[in-house]
Amino acid sequence: MTSRRQQIRLALTGSIGMGKSTVGKMFERAGVPLFDADAVVRDLQANDPELITAIGRRFPGTVSAGKLDREHLARTVLGYPAQLEALEAIVHPAVQAAARRLLAGHGRERVEPIAADLGISRRQLERLFRLQIGLPPKRFASLVRFDWIVRHLDGRASWTDLALEAGYADQAHLIRSFSELAGTTPERYVRGVRDVRGAGPA
């Protein structure tokens, strides 16, 4: 009999200069897989013209010839909570607004019009989503829609009606999507829930 090792996920959080990179390197040396969000931020700050422009507008002198001076930016914000909050606010609002819309629409709204309404490209929204939430917006939307489906399975009129109400193309689309996330079909899931409820406390 083989045993399955439980996967543990840890998040290293904190503001600029608090030692996240140092601790992350310690994990890497120990052979622990690492997703470095700071590296994603550095890539955005180095290669994303929209983000660089926004930072330069808010912090004059930190951008020259389209390039961000990270050392100058660090001197500008480190030790100044209001400045640091202003820097973080440049990146965070788009993701927060997009997540609110996806939640309000139960994951049915397409990503492209959300990005357009926020004034950014779909690619930029995807990169920001991966950075701050750990998932691309389309995957986040699928999980939101899955949550809505789970909460409405038992009171459905029919699988087809439920699929259309949730924004799926048809019943088959609903079943495929649900099975991918739950590892079972909606019908089997409902039957299992009813069996557990009927069994009552042990």
- C-alpha dihedral, 104 to 107 to 111 to 117, nearest 10°: -10
CATH of domain 153-202: 1.10.10
Q: How far apart are CA 96 and CA 33, in angstroms?
A: 27
Q: Which neighbouring-strand residues pair with 68?
A: 63
Q: How far apart are CA 81 and CA 83, in angstroms?
A: 5
Of 136, 134, 132, 133, which is closest to residue 114 (Cα–Cα)?
A: 136
Q: Does this model's pTM top 0.85?
A: no
Q: What's at 38, amino acid-wise?
A: D
Q: How far apart are CA 159 and CA 187, in angstroms?
A: 9
Domain ranges within the chain, ordered by starting residue: 20-152, 153-202
Question: Tell me: the pLDDT tens digits for 157-175?
Answer: 688 888 888 888 888 998 9
Question: Tell me: the pLDDT tens digits for 52-73?
Answer: 888 888 899 988 888 888 788 8
